[in-house]
Chain A
């Protein structure tokens, strides 16, 4: 669902390298059967010291414990950092074996200078594997990513079996894009002890900020070395629909500053500075070439209002610039020149935003880059400045005369006035709206005066909606048939258009309808089906179909049992777990879905009993359903609204009850009896 067009894989990689064993890497390790040439050799003292350490009791689902972690960062200059990492895990369960796979990323600006790994078996001699036993791996690209210079060096430690200790040590030298480090000391496994040290050149200073963990004061040593230690940190066990790990894991963000006090271009002191840094990257890339100007002339010809012109440019960048990411060196962060993007007709999210900004400027409309993390919660109001973003969109300063009801994703900025957020990468969301992944999310608005962390608007729930209306007839044999019209708005429309975007065969285009019917009906036949406004993204998307379902109503003696909720499932069993929930539930976006089914009853039958209406109201959502009889007609209506995007743990019981009531309502039955039959 998410439009994962990365502003840079490199940003993500910088933030998560080392212990972060990507699934894809694990897969690669599984298929590349390179047996490490392990040699008997004593593990280093720092690992040996961990043998026999007393551990707290962990529950039976704990895969491994990080016994010891040490990250030493030595800043040599503004453009050279040396980093040494040591990690040692005790494997507790078979699922913990993957801790024996080490992956270290590198690229032309980040070189691995040493890499070793060891295993201390519970019984027997130690083993060592060296860098020559490693293999290099380029992760397969996702989505439209075409080229990246990021590689991974993989080293497999032998015998990472339960009871054994596996550990590794590596050193890298890198040219930093910014003078900042993030220490992620909380992860999936519990951590017994983790150290971080920062050695700065004499005269330099630093600022440390703590997230999701109480602040720990640094021990200041000689030689401008600062050290931090945390111990007995709980592991983060994954839960479905939980906030992004980045938003809940304990971490320290430390920015450092050269002597002298004058800001360098790669310093990140605050969001304003971060915005300046990104603004500098972008500023030279927005020259409008002659072909761009000609294109603008063509696009805006005959369009009389500024809104029409903006929409024409937005449509061009959305649809005519293909998403292709080429991220080499600083190209992972800096957009390509607008003229190149236009010439080649391709680019990634930041390229598209840059081209559109360039074109808007030519018609006198100001706009600004907004860099954002598509996982809401990764960056919040309280997050200190850091480059934890993976996407770039635009904020368009709306001219005073531009007022239109279709412009929803608008905020009033204190300095810039009305600004409209727009994602040119998302080719299926109408101009004026934003997807759920951006709503109520925090993005860095890059203005000429620096960066400003702003909250994007949350759209009304009714704008993300399925409105289903059925006119149906039931016969005496239980067969149900009739017409259904579905109107889909917002992300509900986006998801279907995305699924169908490459489907050209008409027979295949009705598969979403078949899947929908199959989810609710035991048997069915589609008599007729069509799609509405598939390509007209400024209009609501729709399914329009006629179906027939044999044996929909079930006989029970002389009664007919009919489920009034004919189609669609809104219940959710994510909370039907034995373990109590530890993290909030995150919804993709606000939503409001409605169903309305009129069912003409078979001649000779009348309603005997109806399900009781359901009216459930909580702060996070509401559900209302009702079944009524009127003459020979059964009428069912329901509405489900999700109002809050995050439901805290304290409301989990309410949420569970909410979905259980929906599940119960969906299974409720109306009872029909022969006319004149007694109770």
Chain B
């Protein structure tokens, strides 16, 4: 398939039997299953929190492997305007509240080997919430995709992921001048062999570094493991829901 990096196969050709033709006729083989690390979304943000609670700054999203391929295939007949809208919505849909994204670069749409890199100006109005003199911000930004996954307790069919994938976020949040960090949540780390999740908040001078990683390294999950998988995603959502507690400085207090 066009835009598929060398060494990878599209979902329909992944992990399935195929007849390899040779001079003696043919031999049945099974096609390869790529690893999660080969299809990644990497989000790196340099954002700034305003004393009114808005989060704003630069974001770079890199789509690698099949993550890039599917976007390129989907938008192969679209023009620049449609592709821009597509990429902007791709980002804002991952944020659990209303957000504005403005694509600032011209991504490479025709390559199959290079990652698809999109750069944005991002703004999330009202990102922080308040309780009296304290302000809270979530420890993860791009969580919407995992929010409504596997909401029902019962499952009849196996679960078919399109392909193994990985998401890795590295977001730096600069705090308003004079604000202090009251508490950061403890690191979250859940490793279920084929699925893994981690979240960490680190304090930097005047800033926070939020890192999150989600790995789904499996294609087909039998129905009998549904509860385990559902519990994993519930743990992911629990982790995503932790908050950093901030103490505004004089500027905010005087407002």
Contact = CB atoms under 8 A, between A and B. Distances in A.
B243 to A, nearest CB: 6
A29 interface: no
A162 B78 CA distance: 11
Nearest to A519: B148
Given A551-B238, A554-B242, A578 B129 contact: no
Interface stretch (B13-21, B132-140, B216-224): B132-140
B142 to A, nearest CB: 15
A360 B241 CA distance: 58
B134 A609 contact: yes
Contacts of A610: 131-132
B81 interface: yes
Given A555-B185, A573-B98, A667-B129, A94 B237 contact: no
Given A557-B245, A609-B134, A612-B130, A162 B125 contact: no
Nearest to A62: B81
A476 interface: no
A79 interface: no
A610 to B, nearest CB: 7
A660 B126 CA distance: 8
Interface in B63-121: 77-79, 81-82, 97-100, 102
A523 B77 CA distance: 41
Given A561-B136, A609-B131, A610-B132, A576 B241 contact: no
Given A94-B77, A557-B183, A573 B130 contact: no
B125 A522 contact: no
A670 B131 contact: yes
A550 interface: yes
Contact of A523 (B79, B126, B238): B238
Nearest to A522: B237
B177 interface: no
B250 interface: no
Contacts of A60: 81
Contact of A561 (B77, B78, B238, B245): B245
Nearest to A516: B151
Contacts of B99: 576
Interface in A642-679: 660, 663-664, 667-671
B193 interface: no
Given A523-B238, A576-B98, A611-B130, A556 B245 contact: yes
Contacts of B126: 660, 663-664, 667
Interface in A545-563: 550-551, 554-557, 559, 561
Contacts of B100: 576, 578
B153 interface: yes
Interface residues of A, number: 43
Nearest to B92: A576
Contacts of B130: 611-612, 668-669
B182 A526 contact: no
B134 A94 contact: no
Contact of A507 (B134, B154, B244): B154
Contacts of B136: 561, 669
Contacts of B23: none
A54 interface: no
A514 to B, nearest CB: 5
B35 interface: no
A670 B182 CA distance: 15
A526 B153 contact: yes
A578 B102 contact: yes
A93 interface: yes
A61 interface: yes
B235 interface: yes
Contacts of A93: 79, 81-82
A518 interface: yes
A511 interface: yes
Interface in A586-609: 608-609
A608 B134 CA distance: 10
B198 interface: no
B37 interface: no
Contacts of B129: 611, 664, 667-669
A524 B81 CA distance: 42
B244 to A, nearest CB: 8
B10 interface: no
Contact of B234 (A94, A514, A522, A578): A522
A561 B183 CA distance: 11
A174 B82 CA distance: 41
Contacts of A518: 147-148, 151
Contact of A94 (B79, B186, B235): B79
Nearest to A665: B129
Contact of B134 (A61, A519, A523, A671): A671
B253 to A, nearest CB: 14
A524 B82 CA distance: 39
Q: Which one of A515, A523, A524, A525 has the highest number of Cβ atoms from chain B below 10 Å of its Cβ?
A: A523
Contact of A515 (B98, B151, B241, B244): B151
A608 B245 CA distance: 14
B170 interface: no
Given A61-B81, A526-B153, A664-B126, A554 B241 contact: yes
Nearest to A577: B100
Given A514-B151, A518-B148, A556 B235 contact: no
A340 interface: no
B81 A550 contact: no
A664 B53 CA distance: 10
Contacts of B231: 523
A61 B99 CA distance: 21
A239 interface: no
Given A557-B245, A576-B100, A523 B153 contact: no
A535 interface: no
A679 to B, nearest CB: 8
Contacts of A550: 238
Contacts of A524: 234
Given A94-B78, A519-B148, A663 B132 contact: no
B144 to A, nearest CB: 11
Contacts of B82: 93-95
B28 to A, nearest CB: 32
A556 B81 contact: no
Interface in A52-78: 60-61
A660 B125 contact: yes
Interface in B135-186: 136, 147-148, 151-154, 182-183, 185-186
A612 B130 CA distance: 8
B240 interface: yes
Interface of A: 60-61, 93-95, 162, 507, 511, 514-515, 517-519, 522-526, 550-551, 554-557, 559, 561, 571, 573, 576, 578, 608-612, 660, 663-664, 667-671
Q: Pick the 10 closest A-B CB pairs, nearest first.
A: A609-B132, A518-B151, A522-B237, A576-B98, A523-B234, A573-B98, A557-B183, A667-B129, A556-B183, A551-B238
Given A523-B231, A554-B243, A611-B132, 12 more contacts: A93-B82, A162-B79, A514-B151, A515-B151, A522-B237, A551-B241, A556-B182, A573-B97, A609-B131, A609-B134, A663-B97, A669-B130
5 contacts: A556-B183, A660-B125, A669-B243, A671-B132, A671-B134
